[in-house]
Amino acid sequence: MAVRTLLAALCFALPIAAQAPQAQKATQAQKEWFLAAGAMVAQIDGDRLDLLGGVENIADVAAARRQTLLEVWEIRSRQDLIEEIQKLLQDDRDPARIGWNYPRAINLARFGYAAGYLEEDEAWAFIVPAAGRLQKTFSSWQQVGQIYLQARAGWYSRMIGDRRQAEWAYRELVSDHNSPWRKYPWNLDLGNGYHAPPSIDKTGWLELAAHPEGLMCVRITVPEHQDKVQYENAIETAVGCRPRITGQRQIGPDWILDTECFRDGMLHGAQISVQFHPEAIAEQLRRDGVTQLITFFEHQPHGSATELLPVVTDNWFQNGWQWYLDMRPLRRPYPDTTLTYGVPPARVRLFLIGAALLVAVSMAGAFAARGRPWWTSRFPLFFWGCWLVLSVSYYGLAIVGFWSGAEGLGADVRGLVWYGTLALLLRWGTEIVIASSAWRAIVPNMPLSRILSMSFSRVMAEVPIATVMVLLCDPQRPLNLATVIALLGVGAAIALTAWHFRMRAEGIRGGLTKEGELHEAIGAMATRMGVPLRRLYILPEDISPRLGPKAGGYGDLLIPERLVRSAYRREIDGIVGFELMLIKTKYLNSFWAGLLPVVVILVWRVYNAQNAPSAGISLAVQAGMCFSAFATFGQTMRGVQTRAQAAFKVSGGDAEGWIAGLARLARLSGTEVNPELAEKVARQCNVDFERLPDLMEEGFPETGHYPVPSYDRSKLVSVS
């Protein structure tokens, strides 16, 4: 064992003795060149490329470096590190092995120095000869990078994330004029007696973007551009329209040209199809000495499908943009490329059919909902749910975005302005159909303008939430947390404002009453049931068609004057008793608490989309998220109702009066009482089922009517 350790020490000492003087005499440029030979690995790791340890203070990262060496390389000691580096340097039987192993050996030496396993001279003793071998084996930085990428994909990982990480590192090194690959020429004299020929490789960049209105944007980045080479004619051939130069600038050694032009005939319905001829630009780049071209084809999808032919190196979706990446050597002609994205004509037809069905089914459902309380209360969810499916899964918002001629936020805004307005008008029409008969059954001479105003205020309370749901459930619009909060905040503010105007439009404002038989009876009932009733208001008969009592959020109770005149005493006692239980169980507070799970689930959906931006979210997943949120809300509300019913029974509430009162409200509004509700109340409160027909048809005429108490009509207060 001692002999092996001695031999290893001697083998290690020889390269140090040979290379230490060279490293000590090296200039800063030469040292950075040595480190740049392993820059692919360092760039992936996020280390600084001009420092041996990768950071200014290696003491800060020593423990982390040792942990990385242990987890990735199973290196536990200085001896393990030396043996691993030597094994990499000895595996040099072909250029591919050298291009893969030597950059990793350089990076291991850097890690060993930062971890405290190697002294500075010892680290340079490994790095200097490895970098020199790379210079002798290859002809350019680009060749080193490409060999490393190919070897990494073949011998390390073919996973898409690992490949993109390495390709990103390569693009940064060849494009950033501050990177060592751009700062230092490949044939820099390393002081080892070898004079490398100059590199002929240069990497250019090309970005092509096609927009809905025919706008074509082209950006060309040329390293060390020669002014005599012009690109306008090449761009015209490549994109099919004469470009207008919007900017040209010099950043370091790179010349960047921005152009745009308009090309007709790209939009087919709601689908963009455009053919590029990049070879024209590639030929001009060859004259500028460019040997490799990195091309980005980019667009904002707003549709169901996107395709680029021929297939390129990689593609991904990020920040609302679809990106296609292609890296090609310019030794061969660049093939013609066709970009197609948007909503195909067949899907546009499906959307139009779906829109027509939505109109027909909505109006039919509205007429069917008249006089049916169960269906009336659920109709808005049905309508906006169908609209969400039409907008997202049938690409309605994407289609109108294309038709608006905009994209991104502009398309969303323009599309929602008139697309959302049409949905609002349709929903308004259904609300008029549903509610007008009930309101006119209560107030026969109600003017049409009043019906329109009340219907519109109800619908406007729904629209903001429906709009936010559409934007949140669209997988092509991944949103960050700030946008989510802004959307929810604006939607909630508009909805609450609309709710306030709805209360005003429906005239739900009462006058305070402090005396009278009804006031005393309700006060005594509240005391007996243990309800903290604060104030009692009377809703004037001539300002609102409301029939049922309304519990406020601060222990207030509003009773319509029309109900007092129409219902018998026991019927009012029964209905009011349950409203008092809602006050006791804090119904309104529970309502807002029930909305919290909805917000949480929707925010979770947004983060799910952010974590997998390129993955589509199916209709089933969208529906599951939406309905799970609203099911949670509905469950919370049912729990409140159940607790209120249980409290009503325990406190000795008049269950027969409650059932008769519900039937009275139904008759006054021209509808039928829900038999399931009546049976549920009877079952929970031990009411004989045989009594139900009499209770719902006759009520309690022998109890007479409460006289309408006096109240202050000059100071009507909104109760909410």
Mean pLDDT split into 10-residue runs, the chain, 720 residues: 42 46 77 95 92 91 93 93 94 94 95 94 94 95 95 89 92 94 94 91 95 90 84 94 93 93 83 93 94 94 81 84 93 94 88 94 90 77 85 84 76 81 92 86 82 87 80 66 72 77 80 91 88 88 85 84 92 88 66 57 54 48 59 66 75 85 85 78 84 88 92 82
Residues 515 and 486 in one domain: no
Residues 176 and 264 in one domain: no
pLDDT for the residue numbered 256: 95
Residues 258 and 396 in one domain: no
Residues 335 and 373 in one domain: no
Compute the Cα dihedral for 186, 187, 191, 194 and give only its sign: positive
Residues 134 and 232 in one domain: no
Element housing 217 (H / E): strand 215-223
Residues 490 and 546 in one domain: no
Residues 25, 27, 29: CA angle, nearest 5 degrees: 150
Residues 339 and 363 in one domain: no
Please count the structural domains in the chain.
4
Residues 553 and 684 in one domain: yes
Domain closes at, from 149, 183, 217 = 183
pLDDT for the residue numbered 599: 61
Domain closes at, from 440, 467, 500 = 500
- Asked whether 256 and 321 are in contact (CB, 8 A), the reply is no
Residues 26 and 146 in one domain: yes
All residues at 6 or more sequence positions from 533 whose CB lies less than 8 Å from its CB, including other chains: 522, 523, 526, 555, 557, 580, 583
Residues 390 and 527 in one domain: no
Residue 316 lies in a domain: yes
Q: At what angle do helices 78-90 and 120-137 cross, to 10 degrees?
A: 10
Q: Which domain holds residue 689?
A: 509-718
CATH code of residue 247: 2.60.40
Distance from chain centroid for Cα 383? 24
Domain closes at, from 479, 500, 521 = 500
Distance CA 439, CA 363 (A): 19
Residues 335 and 381 in one domain: no
- Distances from the Cα of 710 to the Cα of 67, 520, 536, 719, angstroms: 82, 13, 11, 18
**CA end-to-end span of the chain:** 88
Specify the pTM.
0.68
Residue 197 lies in a domain: no
- Asked whether 206 and 258 are in contact (CB, 8 A), the reply is no
pLDDT for the residue numbered 625: 58
Alpha helices in 530-567 (DSSP H): 561-566
**Is residue 310 reached through a cis peptide bond, with omega within 30 degrees of 0 on the bond before it?**
yes
pLDDT for the residue numbered 613: 42
Residues 423 and 434 in one domain: yes
